């Protein structure tokens, strides 16, 4: 009787590799889109938290606060207290 060795043939390995590459190729765009969606949601939540923080600071210090975007650099935010006068709609020439 002949003994049969265990293992995979070259054809089996190539077929499984091809199927795996096709599956990964189809899943990659979906993962990229999901990661961009997750990053967008994270950025929106961070902006909302910064705005809430500015509101809490304004209420607790009884001062006007602003959220400055891209300050001090691109993609960053800062809450600053407004000093001096704040233009009203009539001061800037805009209708009320």
Say if 46 falls within a structural domain.
Answer: yes
pTM across the whole model: 0.58
Distance of alpha carbon 51 from the chain centroid: 17
Helix (H, G, I), strand (E, B) or coil at 68: strand
Q: Which pLDDT tens digit goes with each residue over 31-53?
A: 888 899 999 999 999 999 999 99
What total of structural domains would you count in the chain? Answer: 1
Residue with the bigger pLDDT between 21 and 1: it is 21
Say if 93 falls within a structural domain.
Answer: no
With 90 as the cut, is the pLDDT of residue 89 above it?
Answer: no
With 60 as the cut, is the pLDDT of residue 1 above it?
Answer: no
Say if 96 falls within a structural domain.
Answer: no
CA–CA distance, 57 with 65 (Å, rounded to integer): 7
Say if 90 falls within a structural domain.
Answer: no
Q: Which pLDDT tens digit goes with each residue over 49-80?
A: 999 999 999 999 998 888 888 888 888 888 88
């Amino acid at each position: 009787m002949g003994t049969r060795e265990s293992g995979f043939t070259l054809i089996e390995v190539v077929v499984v590799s091809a199927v795996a590459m096709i599956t990964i190729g189809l899943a990659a765009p979906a993962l990229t889109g999901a990661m961009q969606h997750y990053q967008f949601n994270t950025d929106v939540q961070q902006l909302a938290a910064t705005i809430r923080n500015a509101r809490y600071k304004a209420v607790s210090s009884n001062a006007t606060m602003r959220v400055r975007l891209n300050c001090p650099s691109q993609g960053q935010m800062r809450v600053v207290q407004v000093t001096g006068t704040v233009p009203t709609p009539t001061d800037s020439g805009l209708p009320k």
